[in-house]
Structures are given as C-alpha cells and as structure tokens.
Amino acid sequence: MSRREGSLEDPQADSSVSPLPLLEAKIRQTHSLARLLTKYAEQLLQEYVQHQGDPFGLPGFSPPRLPVAGLSAPAPGHAGLPVPEQLQLDAGALAALPPLLEVVRRRQAELNPRALRLLRRLEDAARQARALGAAVEAVLAALGAEPRGPRLEPAAASAAGVFPAKVLGLRVCGLYSEWVSRTEADLSQLVPGGPA
Amino acid sequence: MLTLQTWTVQALFIFLSTESLGELLDPCGYINPESPVVQLGSNFTAVCVLKEKCMDYFHVNANYIFWKTNHATVPHEQYTVINRTASSVTFTDISLLNIQLTCNIRTFGQIDQNVYGIRIISGLPPEKPKNLSCIVKEGEKMTCQWDPGRETYLETNFTLKSEWATEKFDDCKTKRDNPTSCTVDYSPVYFVNIEVWVEAENALGKVASDHINFDPVDKVKPFPPHNLSVSNSEELSSILKLTWINSSIKSFMKLKYDIQYRTKDASTWSQIPPEDTASTRSSFTVQDLKPFTEYVFRIRCMKEDGKGFWSDWSAEESGITYEDRPSKAPSFWYKMEPSHTHGCRPVQLIWKTLPPFEANGKILDYEVTLKRWKSHLQNYTVNDTKLTVNLTNDHYIATLTARNLVGKSDASVLPIPAYDFQGNLAESKCYLITVTPVYDNGPGSPQSIKAYLKQAPPSKGPTVRTKKVGKNEAVLEWDQLPVDVQNGFIRNYTIFYKTNIGNETAVNVDSSHTEYTLSSLTSDTLYMVRMAAYTDEGGMDGPEFTFTTPKFAQGEIEAIVVPVCLAFLLTTLLGVLFCFNKRDLIKKHIWPNVPDPSKSHIAQWSPHTPPRHNFNSKDQMYSDGNFTDVSVVEIEANDKKPFPEDLKSLDLFKKEKISTEGHSSGIGGSSCMSSSRPSISSSDENESAQNTSSTVQYSTVVHSGYRHQVPSVQVFSRSESTQPLLDSEERPEELQLVDNVDGSDVILPRQQYFKQNCSQHETSPDVSQFERSKQVSSVNDEDFVRLKQQQISDHISQSYGSGQMKMFQEVSAADAFGPGTEGQVERFETVGMEAVIDEGMPKSYLPQTVRRGGYMPQ
C-alpha cells in the first residue's frame, strides 16, 4: 500500500541519522541547549515579573537599567567579533551568572517565599547557566581556542531595599536571557547546515 | 507448651537472680558478637563469657557451657573452651538465614540455665546492579531502573546517583516497595549530558553499577500526538487524511511517527511504512483504501533518530472513505408468473442488494431496462430489489444497474426467452446446453455441456501431413476437424500407411492428439499415408499423403565426410611438413639449380700450382668419410651490385695481395684456363684437395653446356686435386672425345672419384652430385672464397652478379644455421688459407659454378 506524503511542518527535518563527528555533535548539542535555555530564560523573566507586583507587571514600565557588578550586557559590537572570541565572552558571562541568579533567588526567597516555581526556576537557571558555560568551554577547547576570556568576577550584587532588589533581580534575569540568546546566536554560526 | 514453660522458668530465674544480685537484668554472661550478620556459606564463631559472680553463685565454669540454636543443642564437637570463663562455638557453612543462638549452663541438679542469646542473620552482599536505564517522560522527571541482581536476604539500599560535569545532583533513594527504580526530584535538562549510576549497599557490602552517560533528550518518551482527526476526500474515494497536533517537545526535538489503521470490524492493525513517516509532520494522507469504508487510526511518535522511547498511542480516531461507483453489477434473474393471458405474460425480475464492498456507497436506486428483440426499450427505476412487468411472448433482454451517489454499476444482462420458445434441434449438430440453477437467494453457477441429438460419421477426414521425416521415422501432424464437419464426438483417429509394395499398416490414435510419430520406417522409401477420424457412428478417410524417407539420417553424411576431410587434411599437412623438411632433397631432384652458361666468367689458368704441403695435415683431417656432398652455387656475373660490408671485411685479409698480384682463384689450388665464353665450374676441386691423400694434381677440362646444349667452343678445365689423375686428364684425347658428347657423360671420370668418397647413389652421377650438394657448410664456405676470388677477377673483366650476393647469403646462412661442426669451420679456414696461398699466384681464376667436376676454363 502506497501512501501520499502529508505536509511537512519542518522543511529541514530530513537530516540523516548518521553519527556525527564528535565536534559537530557537541556543537549541535550545545546550540540546542542554548536555544532551550533561551526559552527557559524568557519564561523565567515572565515569571519573575509576575511575582514582583506593581509596577513591574504594568505595561510601559521601564525599570532603570542598573549596572550589575561583574556582568554587563552583550556589547553592540559582539556580533562582529570572531566566533571564538564571541564564545569566550559568552562563557565568561555564563560563568558570572549563576552567583547572581543565586543572589536573586535568595532575595526572592525572602520577598516571595511562596513563589516556589519561581524559586525553582531561579535555582535551575543557575545550574543550567553553569552547564551551558561548561558546554561552550568544551566547544572552545575542541576548536583549539582558550576556554574562557577574561573572567568576570561577580561582585557582591546586592541592593538595599525591596524595590532595588527587585530591579536587580529583573536586571539579572534580563541579562541571563540576553546572554543565553547571544550564545545561541553565536553557536548557530558553527552548526553545520544551520541549527538542528 | 513445654517451650513456653521453659522460657518462663528461665525468665523467672534471670529475674530472681538479678534481683538477688541487686541489678536489673544483669545477665550471667554475654555472647560476642552481639548482632552478627553472616554471609551465607561462611563460617561463624561465637564466644560466651561467664561472669565471675555468676560462676561463683552457680559453681560453674566454661566447661558447663552448652549452646543451642533455635532451641536445639549444638554438638559438643563444635565447642571450644577458651579459658575458665569463655567457651566458643563454631558453625561452618551457614545456610540458615536466621539463627537464634543461646549460651546456656547446666547447674547443680541438672538444671539448665540460659545465660545469653543472640540472633544470627545471614545473607549475601549485593551484586553489581546491571542494565541501568533511564527514561524521561515528557512533563515528568527522569526515572531510572536497573536489575538489582541476586537476592541478598538482607535489607539492601539502592541509591541512584547522578551528576553533570559541573555539579552533582541529590541522591535518589529507592523506596522499600520498589528497590529497582528511582525517580529523581529535579527537572531534566535536555542537551546536557548527565552521568548516572546506582549504588547497592547492605550489611555485607556496597557495590556500584557501571556509569552511564547520556543526554536526557535521547531518553525522552514524548507525549503522543493529540487531537487526531480523519477526513476524506470527495475527489478520491481511496484516501483519508489524518491531522494531529504534536506535543510541545517538538519545538526542540524532531519527531518520527508510527501510524496504524484497520477497518472498523478488523482486529489486526496495518502499519504505514516507517520510512513514510520518518520526519516531523502534523498530517498524513493514507491511500489505497477501500471506498466507503470506515477505518480506525492511531498514531504515536518518538525522537526522529530513534533514540528514546515511543510515546503512548494516541486516542483512536475513525473516518470513512468517500463513495465510489458500484464495482459490480447485482445478480439478476427472473420468474415467470403462473397467470398468463393471451399475448401477455407477467415476469418478475429479482436481484440482490450489493454487499458494501461492491456497492462502494449507499445504493440510491436500480435501473432496469427491457429490450424486445432489437426495437422497443423500456426503462424502470426501482428502489426495491424486484420488479414485475407484463411482457409479450417475444424474446427480451433485461439489464440491471445499481446507482449510488457517485455513479452506476456495470449492467447485468438477463435474456428472457420468448414464451413459445422450443427446441428445433438438428441431427449431427453440436449444441452447448447450459443449465443455471435458481435458488431462493439468487442464481447459482451455471454448468454447460456439449451434446448431439444424433451423431453421424464426419463429413470429412483429417488431412495429414508430415512435420518431420527421418531415415527411419516420420512425424505426422494434422488439424482438428472443424465442428461443423465432425457430426459427432471424434473418438479416435486411425493412421494408415504403406509402402509401394508393402502391406498397409493401421495405427489408432487418441482424438486428443494432433501429432503422431511413425517409427521403424525403411530408409529411402516412398510411403503413402492417410488418416481417418471416427465418431460413434463411423469414420471418414482424409486425403492420402506421400513422403519419402531419406537415405541417410540427418548428420550421417556429415559424420562420414567430416572425418574423411579431416584425415585428408591431416595427410596433406603431414606431406607438406615432410616436403618442407626435405625441401633441399626435393629441390635437388625436381628443379636443380642449373647454371646459366651465358653468365659464366672466364677464369685464367694459373700455371703455378700452389704449394700443397701446408695442407697435408688438414687433408688428412678431412678424411673421405667426412666429405659427403657438394653444393651448387649460382653465380650471376652481370649484376654489378657491390658486396656488402661484411663480405668486404671478410676479404680484407686478402686485399693486399689482390691489389698487388692480380686476381687469383681456385679452391684447393685448382686453376682454370681462361675462356672467352661462359662456362660452368664446380667446386669439386675442394673435395679433391681435402679428400685425397695423394699430392698429385690434376685438372679437369669440362666441356658442357646447359643441360643438353653442347657448347660451341671446346672448354678446358683444370682441377687441382690430390686424387690420382683420372684417365681423362691423363689422356686428353679421351677428354676431347668426352667434350663432344652429352654433358652427363662428361663426368664419367668423376663418377669413380665420387664413388670413392661417398657412399651415395651410384646409379646416376647427377643424383650423386645433388646429394652431395646437401653438405652446405663446407662447400659453401669454399664457394665463398671462390666468390671472393671471382670478385677480384671481375674487377678486371666483369661486373659482379647478384648471384654472388645470393651465394654469399647462402653461405652466411649455412654458417649460422648449419650443423656448425668444428670440422666445417676448420674446413672453411682451410679453404681460406688455401685461397690466400692461391692469391699468391701470378694469375687468377674466377670461381665457377659447380658443374660435376672441376672448373670450366674461362
């Protein structure tokens, strides 16, 4: 009995299942992780905002972009750098994020002790950032580049007062989302045939 | 009951004794170890130590200790009194899982007192857990399971450990009721490799399984596709389109599918080939389904690369294919109603409803047409399955079609015979009688038979012919008789055949055959054959046919001719080979080389006889027996081609003398008187030089022409030989006489000479000479020298001929391919030396063509 093909949802879904070379497999896996964490980071940011109360959830609210000690947002010229340098910056930022996320989690545990899912997400985000950072460093090592760029020493990010603490948390969650998204974009340049 | 009393007594005793000692539950001694866990099959030793005050009180020591296990006294052989207060007991190969061991003393009055008791627990250390595997159900946390190995009989804890490269996760402790699997309490993170292993631990040991490292995404069991729906197509009645919604895991994982379907009433599932559904999709069209049939579908999915687990099956969903026109016409028959009026008859037409797989849809109505003969047409549209019509007594053709939403079926055709239809059968005609049974639910399968009202002999006999005729057999063939001449059932055939003079032979052949082979025929004979076909009522002969058997069977002539030809060819080939090998001999006999007198050269007679003494030794060396033949050399003096270089080089050793002393010739020192006409010379002088031991010189004057031509001028020839002079030389008058006769006679004096040297034919001098000429090497070498001499002389008188070149080539060939014996080489050298010596003569001689004996004076 012959059958007619139905519509394909993913036109790129015809990749072979032959074993990939080790480096290619590692790049694909890391890229997939970055893409997954990008989604998780967005969910984390949404959930964080939901639990901070007004004015965080209000439309048009634009909190001040406070500088976070030891971590900055991806620079505008980041995309123009060579891929290894991009990944080195990504790895450095991903190494700096877990302590910041842990600080936010602890603060949120004080402010929103009942927001268990948020607390769990923050805990997971710290762990996942470490995993992604380690994976990026593994890719860098496989590419023959230095595993990590200048280490960003996380400062004792803290903010006195509830609102500044909430704003700091928002900023850290935002940075987390930006860096994993940036990492995904940087890794996509290495994925043979485009992202899986 | 007795046991209960014993325990009660012991407890009371202990209570009273401790009470008396002023301590609460102070035993009289203790057992070490206190709570042993022993591996099954191992040895175990327990020691019971009595307290001094108890020993004093009961007046006992360690010798009074006895052991009990589960209230049975342990044999004293297993006891060991360590000292006054301690006694041990040893158990080998412990096999019981739970042993109650007590230490007891027997006090005065044979009263047994229990001192202490322990419980020995036996078991096994844990085995290494095997087959560790994990699954990550979508929306759930990771669960791993394993094979714990053998039963330990002890409480064994299994701990699932997991870690990333960057951090460790909390251990997963198994529950008592399910010690072989554990679900971690953290959410899985895909695309990060995790390392997992299991540790098993009990009182006897701790062991870890092999570590497994995997990406949780490769262990995913996704949610099944949901919202499965089935839709049909009005354009195609054989397809159904499935659509579904994939789980959210599709956003980061490619999927493949497994789709199964069955008809509603079927129990077994059919499967879509996996290669057709090997990529992420949300719809699929199934083809080649039956029209208007309800199908049930279900679907499941998994990671595209096959890593992980299939999801559960989706909820089943059904759909019906669209209608198609009925694939078959309904069964159709008629009934004659009994009531019958004049000129009109009621006929009831009946048919069956089509089964669903033939109706291919809902039958809306039936269309009946009645056609009387070729003219009138009546149409009826009926929803029922019967129709009663009044027909005339004429013959009708009824047709029936079923119609559904899509179209009409093919038509069923039913002939309705005329009312007064009756047979008008003729004799000798073949009729096909068909009977169709009619049951309540429709017609059955018809049966037919051929029949004759009355048979008759065939009106024509079969025409026989030959298909193949052999030496002793012939294959006859014929055609079946047409039905209209058979006049009955052909039962058999008879073949009659005879020769011109023989009796007729008949052969019966079954009617099913159309071919027969006549055997045992005589070759090269004319046969007449005819054939008769028989029905039950008689037979009829066909036309006569004649054929002649061939004299030879096929291939027989070839079998004779080919070997003969091959034998002839072989004989010819052998003959040619023989002739080729003996070509010199044949040439000598059939077309001898005959010198052309017109191309002869005049040689000058050398008055000086070369000294012969230096040849004596070689003369002796070449004995008579060695010299066997004489070669014939053709010389053409007119050809002025120069000598090749090698020939010149060979002649260098004589060059000086040639240039200073003129031309000389003559082998063996022979010389010839010069003559102005062509002459034929011979190389026999070489023989004479070599084969005779005598130092007598003689020369032969030959007067001969070409074959039987008599030369016009008298010719003289001088031969230098060590042979005794022949009569002809000693008596010139006889020579003169010889010159006047035939050439063959000229050599008469030489015949005797050759007889002395060769045991060759004696009948003909010519033959002897030819045979001798076979000896190529020696004589040809000699000829070569002679040729050189002639060449030199030609510088003076004539040009060189091509024959000289030819001769040289022959000599060279003889050197190269000849026997190559030393004698021959030496002979050449001898001749060469001789030639050198001859060149010292004031006059030279041209080498002459061998002609029987000696040189012809030029």
Q: Give yes or no for a contact between B308 and B221, defined as CB atoms under 8 angstroms apart.
A: yes
| pLDDT for B557 beyond 50 | yes
> Which residues of chain A make contact with B280, given a CB cutoff of 8 A?
8-10, 13
Q: Give yes or no for a contact between B360 and B323, defined as CB atoms under 8 angstroms apart.
A: yes
Selected for mutation to probe chain B from A2, A4, A123, A148 (highest B CB count within 10 Å) is A4
In 3D, which of B5, B9, B100, B84 has the Cα closest to residue B51?
Answer: B84
Q: Give yes or no for a contact between B391 and B345, defined as CB atoms under 8 angstroms apart.
A: yes
Neighbours of B33 (CB within 10 A): 13
Question: Per the domain annotation, does B52 fall within a domain?
Answer: yes
In 3D, which of B177, B182, B174, B228 has the Cα closest to residue B201?
Answer: B174
* pLDDT tens by residue, B183-224: 998 888 899 999 999 999 999 999 999 999 999 999 999 999
> Which residues of chain A make contact with B242, given a CB cutoff of 8 A?
6
> How far is the first Cα of chain A from the last one, in angstroms, to the nearest whole number?
32
> Which residues of chain A make contact with B276, given a CB cutoff of 8 A?
3, 5
Compare CB distances from B192 to A7, A33, A39 and report the shortest one's residue.
A33
Given an 8 Å threshold on Cβ–Cβ distance, is B215 in contact with A29? yes
Question: Per the domain annotation, does B545 fall within a domain?
Answer: yes
Q: Which residue of B has its CA nearest to A6?
A: B284
Instruction: Please give the DSSP secondary-structure letter assigned to residue B427.
Output: T
Q: B472 and B536 in one domain?
A: yes
Q: How far is A79 from chain B (nearest CA, A)?
A: 24
Q: How far is B244 from chain A (nearest CA, A)?
A: 11
* pLDDT tens by residue, A159-169: 668 888 888 89
Q: B245 and B202 in one domain?
A: no
| pLDDT for B633 beyond 90 | no
| Cα separation, B455 vs B307, whole angstroms | 82
In 3D, which of B488, B537, B484, B533 has the Cα closest to residue B511?
Answer: B533
DSSP assignment of B460-486, as one string? SPPPEEEEEE-SS-EEEEEPPPPHHHH
More confident residue, B730 or B119: B119
Q: Give yes or no for a contact between B123 and B152, defined as CB atoms under 8 angstroms apart.
A: yes
Question: Per the domain annotation, does B112 fall within a domain?
Answer: yes
pTM over 0.80: no
Q: Which residue of A has its CA nearest to B286?
A: A3
| pLDDT for B755 beyond 60 | no
Mean per-residue pLDDT, B321-327: 93
pLDDT attached to residue B732: 43
* Cβ–Cβ contact A188 with B under 8 A: no
Q: Which residue of B has its CA nearest to A131?
A: B166
| pLDDT for B553 beyond 90 | no
Instruction: Please give the DSSP secondary-structure letter assigned to residue B327.
Output: S
Compare CB distances from B189 to A5, A35, A128 and report the shortest one's residue.
A128
pLDDT attached to residue B532: 93
In 3D, which of B474, B548, B547 has the Cα closest to residue B507?
Answer: B474
Label residue A120 left, alpha or beta by phi (over 0 means left) and psi (-120 to 50 means alpha): alpha
Compare CB distances from A17 to B217, B252, B306 and report the shortest one's residue.
B306
Domain end among B165, B183, B218: B218
Q: How far is B364 from chain A (nearest CA, A)?
A: 31
In 3D, which of A103, A153, A149 has the Cα closest to residue A125?
Answer: A103
Given an 8 Å threshold on Cβ–Cβ distance, is B241 in contact with A6? yes
| Cα separation, B460 vs B458, whole angstroms | 5
Instruction: Please give the DSSP secondary-structure letter assigned to residue A71.
Output: B
Given an 8 Å threshold on Cβ–Cβ distance, is B279 in contact with A2? no
pLDDT tier at B774 (50, 70, 90 boundaries)? very low
- Given the structure tokens 């046919």, which residue do they identify? B545
Q: Give yes or no for a contact between B729 and B698, defined as CB atoms under 8 angstroms apart.
A: yes
- Within chain A, residue ranges assigned H as helices are 22-50, 83-111, 116-143, 162-188
Mean per-residue pLDDT, B223-246: 93
Given an 8 Å threshold on Cβ–Cβ distance, is A33 in contact with B187? no
* Cβ–Cβ contact A4 with B under 8 A: yes
- Within B639-716, residue ranges assigned H as helices are 645-650, 655-661, 684-691
Given an 8 Å threshold on Cβ–Cβ distance, is A4 in contact with B239? yes
- Given the structure tokens 């029987």, which residue do they identify? B852
Q: Which residue of A has its CA nearest to B251?
A: A36
Domain CATH for B518: 2.60.40.10
* Cβ–Cβ contact A7 with B under 8 A: yes
**Number of folded domains that form chain B:** 4
DSSP assignment of B403-414, as one string? EESS-BPPPEEE
Instruction: Please give the DSSP secondary-structure letter assigned to residue A19.
Output: P
| Cα separation, B145 vs A74, whole angstroms | 43
Question: Per the domain annotation, does B737 fall within a domain?
Answer: no
Question: What is each CA distance from B423 to B194, B335, B418, B420, B437, in whole angstroms?
Answer: 95, 20, 12, 10, 20
Q: B83 and B40 in one domain?
A: yes
Question: Per the domain annotation, does B392 fall within a domain?
Answer: no
**Would you give the distance in Å from CA B274 to the centre of its chain?**
35
Q: Read off φ and ψ for residue B108, nearest 5 degrees.
A: -60, 135
In 3D, which of B751, B707, B754, B760 has the Cα closest to residue B728?
Answer: B751
In 3D, which of A137, A148, A162, A190 has the Cα closest to residue A54?
Answer: A162
Given an 8 Å threshold on Cβ–Cβ distance, is B167 in contact with A29? no
Pairing of strands B98-107, B412-416: unpaired
Compare CB distances from B281 to A6, A32, A124 and report the shortest one's residue.
A6
Q: How far is B306 from chain A (nearest CA, A)?
A: 9
Q: How far is B254 from chain A (nearest CA, A)?
A: 7
Q: B116 and B32 in one domain?
A: yes
| Cα separation, B667 vs B790, whole angstroms | 11
Neighbours of B723 (CB within 10 A): 25
Selected for mutation to probe chain A from B192, B255, B295 (highest A CB count within 10 Å) is B192
In 3D, which of B253, B288, B250, B254 has the Cα closest to residue B272?
Answer: B288
| pLDDT for B161 beyond 90 | yes
* pLDDT tens by residue, B684-724: 444 443 444 434 444 444 444 444 444 444 444 444 444 44
Contacts of A45 (CB under 8 A, 6+ apart): A170, A173, A174, A176, A177
Tokens of A166: 């909430």
Q: What percent of chain B has pLDDT over 70?
A: 65
* Cβ–Cβ contact A196 with B under 8 A: yes
Compare CB distances from B189 to A5, A131, A196 and report the shortest one's residue.
A131
More confident residue, B172 or B741: B172
Compare CB distances from A134 to B165, B215, B239 and report the shortest one's residue.
B165
**Predicted ipTM of the assembly:** 0.83
Contacts of B435 (CB under 8 A, 6+ apart): B446, B447, B448
pLDDT attached to residue A153: 57
Question: Per the domain annotation, does B329 fall within a domain?
Answer: no
Q: Give yes or no for a contact between B20 and B4, defined as CB atoms under 8 angstroms apart.
A: no
Taking CB atoms and an 8 Å cut-off, how many pairs form between chains A and B? 95
| pLDDT for B810 beyond 60 | no
* Cβ–Cβ contact A3 with B under 8 A: yes
Q: Domain of B194? A: 130-218
- Rounded to a whole number of angstroms, the CA Rg of chain A reads 19
Q: Read off φ and ψ for residue B779, nearest 5 degrees.
A: -70, -40
Q: B154 and B113 in one domain?
A: no
Given an 8 Å threshold on Cβ–Cβ distance, is B279 in contact with A128? no
Enumerate chain B positions whose Cβ falls within 8 A of a Cβ in A. 164-167, 186-187, 189-193, 215, 217, 239, 241-242, 246, 250-252, 254, 270, 272-273, 276, 279-288, 304-306
pLDDT tier at B605 (50, 70, 90 boundaries)? low
Enumerate residues 116 to 135 of chain A having a beta carbon within 8 A of any beta carbon in chain B.
Answer: 120, 124, 127-128, 130-135
Under-50 pLDDT residues of chain A: 1-19, 195-196
Question: Does the structural domain A20-55+75-189 have CATH classification 1.20.1250.10?
Answer: yes
pLDDT tier at B677 (50, 70, 90 boundaries)? very low
Domain end among B173, B192, B218: B218
Q: Which residue of A has its CA nearest to B259?
A: A3
pLDDT attached to residue A20: 53
What mean pLDDT, rounded, does chain B reach?
73
DSSP assignment of B258-317, as one string? EEEEEETT--SPEE--GGGG-S-BSEEEE-SPPTT-EEEEEEEEEETTS-S-PPPPPPPE
* pLDDT tens by residue, B15-48: 444 444 445 567 889 999 988 899 999 999 999 9
Mean per-residue pLDDT, B359-379: 86
Given an 8 Å threshold on Cβ–Cβ distance, is A7 in contact with B282? yes
* Cβ–Cβ contact A148 with B under 8 A: no
| Cα separation, B39 vs A96, whole angstroms | 53
| Cα separation, B757 vs B742, whole angstroms | 24
| Cα separation, A156 vs B243, whole angstroms | 54
| pLDDT for B837 beyond 90 | no
What amino acid occupies position B398?
A
Sequence-ordered strand ranges (E) for B317-469: 317-320, 332-336, 345-351, 363-372, 376-382, 386-391, 396-404, 412-416, 430-435, 438-439, 442-443, 447-452, 464-469
